[in-house]
Amino acid sequence: MKLKVRNPREEMYNLYNKIQNKLFPFIRKDAQKEISQSFETFLKGNAFSNLDITLIHGDFGASNILWNPETSMISGIIDFGFGIRRSSV
């Protein structure tokens, strides 16, 4: 199975750009400045260093659990159709 690798730093930059382009025209200048400072501090910080890649199921529920009645233990997790690989933050 080939899962898409997601990049949280890129996703945060994209979110910041969307906020600037779509919401800033409707937000007070002082609020814009505060939002910008928060994003820029976060994006320039160490939050994205030492990230581990994590597999995220995407739509996990009881029907995705394989149960072994002989051992009374979970024997597997199935259906990663909505799964993604993401760096954990």
pLDDT one-digit tens code per residue, 38-85 = 999 888 887 776 666 677 777 778 888 888 999 999 888 877 666 555
Mean pLDDT across 18-23: 96
When the candidates are 3.90.1260.10, 3.90.1200.10, 3.30.565.10, 3.30.70.20, the CATH number that belongs to 5-87 is 3.90.1200.10
Burial 3-33 (b: 16+ CB within 10 A, else e): eeeeeeeeebeeebeeeeeeeeeeeeeeebe
Residue of higher predicted confidence among 29 and 49: 29
**pLDDT score, position 50:** 67
**pLDDT score, position 30:** 96
Domain boundaries, given as residue ranges, for the chain? 5-87
pTM for this entry: 0.55
Compute φ and ψ for 85, nearest 5 degrees: -100, 130
